[in-house]
Amino acid sequence: MKLTAPLLYGLIACILMVSAPHAAHLPLWVSVLCVALLAWRFYLTYSGRPLPSRWLLLGVTVACVLAIAITFHTLFGREVGVTLLILLVTLKLLELRTARDATVLIYLSSFIIITNFFYSQSIPTALFMLLTLLVIMATWVHMQTGNLTFKPRLRIAVILLLQAIPLSLVIFVLFPRVQGPLWGMPQDAYASSGLSDTMAPGTMSNLSLSDAVAFRATFDGKVPERQQLYWRGPVLWDFDGTTWKRGRNITTQRPSLADATTPVGYAVTLEPHNKPWLFVLDMPSKLSIPAFVAPDFQVLNDKPVNARIRYTATSLLDYRANADEPPQQLQRALALPQGLNPRSRQLAAEWRRQADSPETVIRTALAHFNQQEFEYTLEPPLLGFNSVDDFMFTTKQGFCEHYAGSFVVLMRAAGIPARVVTGYQGGEYNDLGGYYVLRQYDAHAWAEVWLQNRGWVRIDPTAAISPERIQSGLNAALGDNVILPFFARTQSPFLLKLRVNLDALTNQWNQWVLGYDTERQFAFLTRLGMEDVSWKNMALNLLAWIALLVGIFTLIMLRRLVVRRKDAVQAAWLKVCRKLEKAGLPRAPHEGAMDYAARIATARPDLAEDLHDIAARYAALRYGGEAEMEGMAAFKDAVRAFKL
């Protein structure tokens, strides 16, 4: 094998493709250096110049390793490992002298493919890596079979990859999974965005600019009405004049639901958001994973969600929640910052005086929002020190956080315990996958008030000012001239359909490929009929299946090797050839029967006559057409009689 220029271009392409996805997170100087080295190698090949000397390369390598050590302050760890690997592979191209070096490069590029999945496991990444693998295989085939043109090379590579598919499927399904990720996923593997546990003007409207998926939910049975789809996240109690915070619950009393009816079961696949809270419909009663339900019904995982998790839950849509809320908690729900927002407090006190019950106050407040020309907008004006007063009496423009916050302040001023609840509302139904998808722009804030005997009751002031937000989503509630994420505002049926399809595909990928963990493997194998799903059993099955597949492939290949149409004439002739071969007179593959007979005749004159007769009969039978078939018996006799 010779290291020809086309082969070198192939190797350069392999390295380029396999490291390209890493460029985004490698240190900038490494990316630039790698590109420069590849360009240099390309130029050397193109111009036929000699490679740089080994001493120069050694110097550059040592310098690079030192620079990496300085950049990362260590030489251990995954980031450093990947960086070193890519840099060294690129340098290896510059000392490519023998076939062995090329083989090493091919293997290393295949290995670097895996490292790309540390950073992204999406479908596009997988497809790109498949393409990369194809290029690597084609280069490898190129190395092994020098004198084939591009097309047959590519065909061999494709066939090799296709043969690998059943094997990898078997390994994927049967390879025993371990609990938790095999290598520690970093916390920052996913750019996290999502609900935080504080709320200030602007928090929600910022989130509404992102169309990242927050979670997906499937319902068992009947799906609740859209205006009941309130996915509960952080519950905010404490207000300091601008920001709402969760504060600390000063009770150990477990949350209680009374007279609860209308159960709804559903499963949620939550994208990682690096915060401990889970999202459930108001109000949760059962959960499949061990999570803590706080006294204010906020559900908290035992650790931050930094990998995609799936849980099922049951919620009750009609309830009396915490009707016996302890007084110290109610006290929290009435606290207001001293001396702020005097006009709002005055207005609320006025309402309270005129009303005969808390319910009337609530109605008055909602009617106030509805009738006083409040506007629902993504871009509200800035608010001053007395933010609620400014909003209520001056600007009158706001997003859900303004309405929820102000409403709770008004209620507290009127002596009604109230709190802010944040989470997601509504969502979009994907009828292809049969699930709801909730995106960041579905983030929402609403209020809960505590009423004697009824407990915590959900009041959504946004619904009073903009019912469309609750009924049909954000796009319907805002005008056309607002810049929303592209998907949130598009009306094109094709794009909407495309989004639905892509999201359904991504969901399947998440559920079945990335989410194929111990439990799913157990469930899947049990359904396939494996009775005892154990490590030992899986390993045995794995080996058996691999042996079977390799056996099948071997058989197919052997059949190809054996002469394709091995008819009787051919078989008899080959028998003669084998006899002669044993006698040290083999036939060259391209040698015709008559030529062979003539050649043997000079070496073994004793065989000349018999062999010439056999060869002539063979040629006549094989190439002479139907008319010659009578000679078959004579030919077979001659073959049988042929002795060395």
Query: Is 564 near another protein (CB under 8 A)?
Result: yes
613 binds another protein (CB under 8 A): no
- 210 neighbors 440 (Cβ within 8 angstroms): yes
If the CB atoms of residues 102 and 400 are measured against another protein, the closer one turns out to be 102
- Check binding of 602 to another protein (CB under 8 A): no
User: Which residue, 73 or 564, has its beta carbon nearer to another protein?
Assistant: 564
Q: To the nearest 10°, the Cα dihedral for 127, 132, 138, 139?
A: 180
Determine the Cα–Cα distance for residues 644 and 638; give it in Å rounded to an integer: 13
Taking CB under 8 A as the criterion, the residue among 593, 611, 638, 639 binding another protein is: 593
Q: Which helix (H) or strand (E) holds 140?
A: helix 123-144
Angstrom distance (rounded) from CA 185 to CA 488:
31
Nearer CB in complex with another protein: 2/254:
2
479, 590, 605, 643: which one binds another protein (CB under 8 A): 590
Packing angle, helices 99-119 and 123-144, rounded to 10: 170
Q: Answer left, alpha or beta for residue 247, where phi above 0 means left and psi between -120 and 50 means alpha.
A: left
Closer to another protein by CB, 2 or 643: give it: 2
Query: What does the alpha-carbon distance between residue 128 and residue 132 come to, in Å, rounded to a whole number?
Result: 6
Shortest Cβ 2–another protein spacing (Å): 12
- Whether a cis peptide bond, with omega within 30° of 0, leads into 632 is no
Shortest Cβ distance from residue 115 to another protein (Å)?
34
CA–CA separation, 85 vs 77, rounded Å? 12
Stretch that binds another protein, among 42-50, 264-272, 457-465, 615-623 (CB under 8 A): 615-623
Q: Which is nearer to another protein, 1 or 539 (CB)?
A: 1
623 contributes a contact to another protein by CB under 8 A: yes
Residue 323 in the binding site for another protein (CB under 8 A): no
> Contact between 594 and another protein (CB under 8 A)?
yes
Decide if 86 contacts 19 (C-beta within 8 A).
yes
The span of 334-342, 393-401, 453-461, 616-624 binding another protein (CB under 8 A) equals 616-624
Listing DSSP states for 344-362 in one string gives HHHHHHHHHHH-SSHHHHH
Tell me which stretch binds another protein (CB under 8 A): 351-359, 378-386, 444-452, 623-631. Answer: 623-631
Quote the CA–CA distance of 94 and 519 in Å, as a whole number: 47
How far apart CA 433 and CA 415 sit, in angstroms, is 47
Active-site option among 34, 400, 402, 503? 400
Which residue do the tokens 């995609």 mark? 308
* Residues 6+ positions from 357 with CB-CB distance below 8 Å: none
Q: Are 277 and 234 in contact (CB under 8 A)?
A: yes
Kindly indicate which of the ranges 163-171, 487-495, 534-542, 584-592 contains the residues binding another protein, using the contact rule CB under 8 A. Answer: 584-592
Which stretch in 38-46, 455-463, 602-610, 621-629 sits in contact with another protein by CB under 8 A?
A: 621-629
Residue 591 touching another protein (CB under 8 A): yes
Residue 137, token pair as written in the block: 């295989």
Instruction: Could you list the beta-strand ranges (E) of 382-442.
Output: 397-398, 418-425, 428-430, 435-439
Minimum separation from the CB atom of position 589 to another protein (A)? 3
Query: What sign has the CA pseudo-torsion 153, 155, 157, 163?
Result: negative
| 23 scored as a contact of another protein (CB under 8 A) | no
How far, in Å, CA of 40 to CA of 123, rounded?
Answer: 33
How would DSSP label each residue in 170-210?
HHHHHSPP-SS-SS---GGGS------SEE-TTHHHHHTT-
Task: Tell the residue number behind the tokens 């930094």, with chain if given.
Answer: 306
**Angle CA(572)–CA(624)–CA(636) in degrees, nearest 5?**
25
559 binds another protein (CB under 8 A): no
Active site residue 444: yes
Q: Return the residues of window 26-65 that contact another protein according to CB under 8 A.
A: none
Single residue of 47, 221, 625, 633 touching another protein by CB under 8 A: 625
**Can you tell me the distance from the alpha carbon of 370 to that of 99, in angstroms, rounded to the nearest whole number?**
79
Could you confirm whether 64 is annotated as catalytic?
no
Q: Is 5 in the site for another protein (CB under 8 A)?
A: no
**Which residues are registered as beta bridge partners of 420?**
236, 447
Least distance in angstroms from the C-beta of 515 to another protein: 45
User: In the beta sheet, which residues pair with residue 264?
Assistant: 315
> Taking CB under 8 A as the rule, does residue 624 contact another protein?
yes
Does 551 interact with another protein (rule: CB under 8 A)? no
Of 214-222, 229-237, 467-475, 589-597: span binding another protein (CB under 8 A): 589-597
| Beta carbon nearer to another protein, 144 or 262 | 144
Nearer to another protein, 107 or 150 (CB): 150
d(CA 321, CA 421): 14
Region of residue 466 (left: phi > 0; alpha: psi -120 to 50; beta: else):
beta
**Based on CB atoms, which residue is closest to another protein, 538 or 569?**
569
Pick the catalytic residue from 34, 296, 444, 503. 444
Q: How far is the CB of 146 from another protein (least distance, A)?
A: 7
**460 classed as catalytic:** yes
Show the binding pattern over residues 139-178: x = contacts another protein (CB under 8 A), - = does not: -------xxxx-xx--------------------------
Q: Which is nearer to another protein, 146 or 180 (CB)?
A: 146
Exactly one of 368, 592, 613, 636 binds another protein (CB under 8 A); that residue is: 592
Give the interface segment with another protein, choosing from 89-97, 241-249, 360-368, 587-595 (CB under 8 A).
Answer: 587-595
For residue 338, state whether it binds another protein (rule: CB under 8 A).
no
Name residues whose C-beta falls within 8 Å of residue 57's C-beta, 6 or more positions apart in sequence.
91, 94, 95
Q: Give least dist CB 639 to another protein, A.
A: 18
Q: Binding to another protein by residue 586, rule CB under 8 A?
A: no
Judged by CB under 8 A, the number of residues near another protein is 23
Q: Catalogue the active-site residues.
A: 400, 444, 460
**Residues engaged in binding another protein (CB under 8 A):** 146-149, 151-152, 563-564, 588-595, 619-620, 622-625, 628
